[in-house]
Amino acid sequence: MQATVKHMARISSVLIGLIAVGFTLVYGSAQAQPAFLKLRGVGISSEVPPNGFATDVQVVASYAYVAWGSGDTNYHGSLEIFDVANPSKPVRLGGYKSRMPPNAVHVAGRFAYLAAGVAQNLRNRPGALEIVDVSDPVNPRLVSEIATAGAANAVRVSGNHAFVAESPRLSGANLLGALEIFDISEPTTPLRVATFGSAGSVTSVEVSGNYVYIADGVTDLQVLDVSDPTAPRRVGVYLSDTTRNLCGFEAGGPARHVQVVGNLAYSAGENGLHVLDISDPHHPVSIGDNYCMALQSFYLSGRYAYVTVWSSYRNSYLLAVVDANDPANVIGVSPATDWPFQTFHATDRWLYTASDRLLIFKVSNRPPNKSASSDTDPSN
């Protein structure tokens, strides 16, 4: 992995768009201005466990919160905090060793909420919601945890409630995924107030107003009315046409990533990227489908969407930059890697991702003047 990161440092200032022949053949000529990614900062972890990998990253103000998972049963994982006020020189501040492998982190106020657990087929493998006080980023500390019925995959906090997406847990003769809702008005004593069963593993959750949007690997989008958090009810569904075969390969399963921006929901997964109008949450309507992009990860920020895709042309993973106004239009592709970036956080100028360390890229529409090792122009 170290060699991979060093390789990325050497090639991160290469043009990442129109030179990608494989994508040009599929998507045609890009209409938007090409994008460039330039590696600016690397945050070295002291908490990443053996065989560890980043599962989530969130940036709040000048801090980056990185969740680390692990394949080592003797070391579950951790949360680590970096000062990224100067993106070129991220500084590790502190860390917390979690009780279970964390799959996601959401920071709200002085607390970080960790969705944790390991999913195993045909077994009742519970997870947990861990609540960590991060008011002192040098010394984050656990204040409470509560068991979840299945491994917790994602978490979003809105007001006094945490919405936790979960993998299947054994329920009678059935394996059902779930969205669980917790009252966190008192973070030291979270209380479960509702459970909404889903046919598949719930992998992503977004909250907007009185509605929750989830992806469960069975439908591309489910919309739940949570105006009464103790009684969530499904009011809308979107399922894409998986019989379409526009690009010469079998479409994958329904979406596993959901992101809501205003009146639009972006549903992404192996069967492509779907842009849905949710101005009426009861009736999500597709306003754009791209079945030619089997997505491993997805994050939208401003005019760019960042996705990880598997390229059979290159036999490797590619980090692609997509025009948010035209999701079928790939305007940049990074050099290839043999492993996917699992998670992103981005602003208009910066992209944060992680592998076995925190990587910070400058996002620019200008090509670099110099190599990554010598380019110090802050405006470039």
pLDDT of residue 18: 25
> What are the residue ranges in the chain where pLDDT is below 50?
1-30, 173, 245, 248-251, 371-379
pLDDT of residue 86: 96
Residue carrying the six token digits 């993973």: 317
Residues 165 and 202 sit within 8 Å (Cβ to Cβ): yes
Domains and CATH numbers, the chain: 2-364 (2.130.10.10)
pLDDT digit string (tens) for 96-140? 999 888 999 999 999 999 999 876 655 557 789 999 999 999 999
Task: Report how far residue 175's alpha carbon sits from residue 340's, in angstroms, rounded to the nearest whole number.
Answer: 28
pLDDT of residue 69: 84
pLDDT of residue 8: 32
**Identity of the amino acid at 127:** G
- Closest by CA to 195, choosing from 153, 150, 160, is 150
pLDDT of residue 250: 45
pTM for this model (two decimals): 0.84
Task: Report how far residue 267's alpha carbon sits from residue 215's, in angstroms, rounded to the nearest whole number.
Answer: 8
Report the mean per-residue pLDDT for the chain: 79
Give the HSE-up count for residue 108: Cα atoms under 13 Å, Cβ half-sphere.
16
